[in-house]
Structure formats: structure tokens, C-alpha cells
Amino acid sequence: MLRVKSSLRHHRRITTMGLALAVAAVTGLALVPACTRQDSAKAQSSLAATSEGRTLANQLSAVFEAAASKVSPSVIPIYAEQVVEVASPFGSPDSPFRQFFGDDFFKRFFGTVPQQDQKETVHSLGSGVIVSKDGYILTNNHVVHGADKLTVLLQKNEKYSAKIVGTDPQTDLAVIKIEGDDLPAATLGNSDELKIGEWVIAVGNPFQLLHTVTAGIISAEGRSSVGLADYEDFIQTDASINPGNSGGALADLDGNVIGINTAISTPSGGNVGIGFAIPINMAKTVMEDLISHGKVTRGYLGLVPQDINESLAAALNLKTTSGCLVGDVVPDGPAGKAGVQRGDVLTELNGEKIKDSVELREKVAMMQPGSTVKLTVLRNGKELTIDVKLGERPENAKAGEQQSPQQQPQMQEKLGLTIQSLTPALAQQLGYENQQGALVADVAAGSAGEDAGLQRGDLIQEVNRTEITSVDEFNKVVSRLKSGESAALLVRRGQVTFFTAIQVP
């Protein structure tokens, strides 16, 4: 009996398996192990993910393609030619070759006497951005500076001669003009709305490779103290910028120009992921002045602002390092006439917080002379509001008249010194009441200043027997020094004065 039941169960299993095989044969289904079915599901999921990834990649690629397609026709190569004089090694009457052989030798064997000055044409290539349909082009000043001939090449291989409309070396911007109609003008964006990490493309002509597009992100904003121009507020990007990109476009993913590529930071001459572009809002202001007046007019306060570090903030009983300290006031300047004093702390301009001296300089420079600004000032712990009617920055004045120690002159850097004005508060703190001079704010290790024995807090009162009463006077005197020369400094340290010699590297 048991064997019969067992046989029946075996028969049912066989019958069930047979039915399953029959169904599979009729429907075309394959019977696979459970583990195989799981592997198949993973493969299908991977294929779906790959498909989604390709779709996203293609969509991102399409965005870059559209941006490049929009802005590229507006970015053109600028060929500059400059005729320069090159001294001939045999042309000078003092040349040992000429003195030895004589003019007869050159006449006999070369048919002519060598000339002292020979002319040579130097060629260079930069980039520019067409900003109007009738042919105005925005570029860098260093692209066109000194050029005797400028030629622009459009993407259809159309050549145009260009003329310079105006240049502004202090921002390294220039506007040139070609005669044309319905030219591919770029769309200019708003650089004030940029965000760090935002995707951008750089378009230009690096290494004579015309119409090159590279991509990256905005690495930083408001870069200053780079040493490229007097007024700096650079956009920093890691989009590849190389020689030849200067004057080209930095554009967002909508194809709007948000900066003018200017320079790279590199130890090798090639791109290392740090490039700088002038914000288009600043460039537009300069461009409009150059087109309208042929020059740039800037607002002028007539003071020397400096940044506030933690030590200064503590010494002046300030709650924050924001704002800027007035290190000096230009006599009879707009700020001085309005009542601004040395030692004041400027905290707001027209109701907006002042972050540092660079921000103050840039904002004032972009304002029109004759306009009135409202300065919020801290003086002896009390807040004051002073209205200042801006003057026009003198053409022979450098941005240094309104610079902080961060934009210190090259000679200070060469000597390894950071010099600042002696304010009443610092004079009281350091015991220099009723004294005049230029205060040593810092001394670089291993520098000429350190070799001369200078220390932070020293007061330089004379340079080569010339009395020093301000930072400007110190800069003026030391700027005359040449490499290898030494200068005698009269230095006050506490209540003691002494002389020391400093040698220019």
C-alpha cells in the first residue's frame, strides 16, 4: 500500500513536470534556474541605468553644444602687427666687429655699411568679442597695445582692418572697431548673478588654434591683488585659458558672455587650471565710456583705505574686520573736504556694507565724478554719516592713491616689507605720539628687510636722509632705488632711533 502511494506521488511529479515542459514548448518560455533569472534582472536594470545615463550625458552635451554654437561666431581672432627697432650687432659705431674690420670691409663683402637701427615686424595673436552688429569689439588692452596694424578674421574667413577706439590700461580693457553690418554680436550676461561652481565655457584662439572652446566651472569671484591691472575684480575659472585666449569670452551655459578672458596663473606658460576673466559688468561700464568719450572717467574719494586685520581690530576696539581703515587722506581731496579723517573706519557706502578696501575702490571707481555718495564712518566708537561729492580721478594718478597694503608697490614686495600709515590709534598704542613716518606692518622671512634688522612695528622716518612722513613718500623714495643699491634708513623702535642699511635685491 505504501509503495502504491509513493508511486502515485512520483507519477504526479512527472506529470506536473511534463505539463510545464509542454506549456513552455507551446508558449516559447524558457525554464531557467532562479539564480539565472536574478542575473538577467540585474543585466536589464544595468541596461536601463546605462540608457538613462546616456540620455543625461547627451542632454548635458547638448547644453554645451548650444552654448558654444551661440557664442562662438562672436569670438574672433585679432592679429596685431608692430614695427619695432632691433639693434644690429654690427651696426653700432662702438661695435668691436665694426671697429676691427672697418666700413670698407662691409662695403666690399656685403655691398653696404650696416645700419645701427633695423626695423622688424612683430606679429601676435589674441581674441576679441563682437559686442555690436555694426562692429564694436571688446578685447584686452595688452592684445592691441602698441600695434601699428590690427586685422580681424571672422568665421567665414572674412578679413577686416580694425582701428582702436579707446584703451584702459588700468583694467586691461580696450575697444576696437571694424566697418560692417549685421555682424554676429554676442549676448552679454550679468556677472553679478554668478555662483561659484557654475559651469562655464571659454572661447578664444589659444596657440593659434582658432575658435577653441574649453569647459570648466567658476572657481572663485572677486579675485584681486593678482598684479595684472590697477583695478582687479577677477572671475577665477578652471576652464582652460592659454596664450591667445586673451580678450576672448567666458560664457555661461545659455551662451551669454559673463567675462572677458585676461590671463592665467602658470609657472610653465601653459594652463594649470587657474585662469582669470574680467566680469562683464565692469567691462560694459568701461566699454561704454571708451565708446562715448574715448577714455574712462572714474569716481575719486582721495583717500588711502587699508584692510583691517585681527590685530588692528583689537587695537581699535572693533567688533569685526569688515570695512576699511582710512590710512591717509589726500589734501584738498573730496573725502578730506567732506570731513573724512585719517583713522576713520568706513563701514558702509550708500547703505551697503563695505567688505574691504578692494571692494570700496572698485565701487567708487565705477561711479561717475560729481555724484554724491553717503559714507558711514566709525570715529572714536561713534557712527557718523558723511556725504562726499566724488571728484574725477586725475589721469596721472594711479589706483595706488586709493589702494590698501594688499596692493603694495613692487619695491615694497622686493624688499620684503609691508608698509602702512601711522594712524593716531596706532601711534598711541606703539608710543609714537607726535611722530611721523611709515610704519612697518610686516617683514618677510629671508628678505632684504629682515637682513636689515627691521621688525614689525618699526617706524621708518628717513630714507637716505630724506624725511618720510607718509607711505606715499616712502614709496616715492624707494622706487628710485635700483637692484644692488643700498639705502640708509633712520628707524624708530619704541623710544630709540637707529640707522640701518637695506640693500635692494
Q: Assess whether pLDDT exceeds 70 at residue 267.
A: no
Torsion angles phi and psi, residue 200, rounded to 5: -145, 165
Contact 468, 461 (CB under 8 A): yes
Q: Where are the domains of the chain?
A: 65-296, 299-402, 408-503
Q: Which residue has the higher pLDDT, 260 or 328?
A: 260
Give dist(CA 112, CA 90) in Å, integer: 12
**3-class SS of residue 59:** helix
Q: Is 39 a catalytic residue?
A: no
- Correct CATH for 408-503 of 1.20.1730.10, 2.30.42.10, 1.10.10.10, 1.10.540.10: 2.30.42.10
- How many angstroms from the chain centroid is the CA of residue 495? 43
Count CB-CB contacts under 10 A for residue 462: 18
- Give the Cα-Cα-Cα angle 445, 447, 453 (nearest 5 degrees): 85
pLDDT value at residue 30: 47
pLDDT value at residue 209: 83
Q: Is 246 a catalytic residue?
A: yes
Confidence band, pLDDT 50/70/90 cuts, at residue 428: confident
Q: Which one of the listed residues 168, 172, 307, 442 is annotated catalytic?
A: 172
Question: pLDDT (tens digit, 9 = 90+) per residue, 178-214?
Answer: 998 999 999 999 999 999 999 999 999 888 888 899 9
Question: pLDDT (tens digit, 9 = 90+) per residue, 437-488?
Answer: 999 988 999 899 999 899 999 999 988 878 998 888 898 888 888 888 888 8
Confidence band, pLDDT 50/70/90 cuts, at residue 37: low
- The one-letter amino acid code at 337 reads K
pLDDT value at residue 104: 59
pLDDT value at residue 326: 87
Give dist(CA 434, CA 440) in Å, integer: 17
- Correct CATH for 65-296 of 2.40.10.120, 2.60.40.1220, 3.40.50.1820, 2.40.50.140: 2.40.10.120
Q: Which one of the listed residues 72, 74, 127, 142 is annotated catalytic?
A: 142
Residue written as grid cell 584662439? 205
Contact 304, 420 (CB under 8 A): no
The domain made up of 299-402 has a fold known as Pdz3 Domain (2.30.42)
What is the DSSP track for 488-503? EEEEEETTEEEEEEEE
CA within 13 Å, CB half, 447: 16
**3-class SS of residue 208:** helix
Say what the pTM is: 0.63
Q: Which residue has the higher pLDDT, 31 or 145?
A: 145
Strands (E), 3-46: none
Domains 299-402 and 408-503 share a fold: yes
> Which residues, in sequence order, are bridge partners of residue 419?
440
- The one-letter amino acid code at 299 reads G
Average pLDDT over residues 299-325: 85
Q: Which one of the listed residues 246, 357, 404, 421 is annotated catalytic?
A: 246
Listed residue (139, 112, 124) closest to 84, CA to CA? 124
Q: Assess whether pLDDT exceeds 90 at residue 231.
A: no
Question: pLDDT (tens digit, 9 = 90+) per residue, 348-393?
Answer: 999 999 998 888 988 898 888 999 999 999 998 899 999 999 998 8
Q: Is 142 a catalytic residue?
A: yes
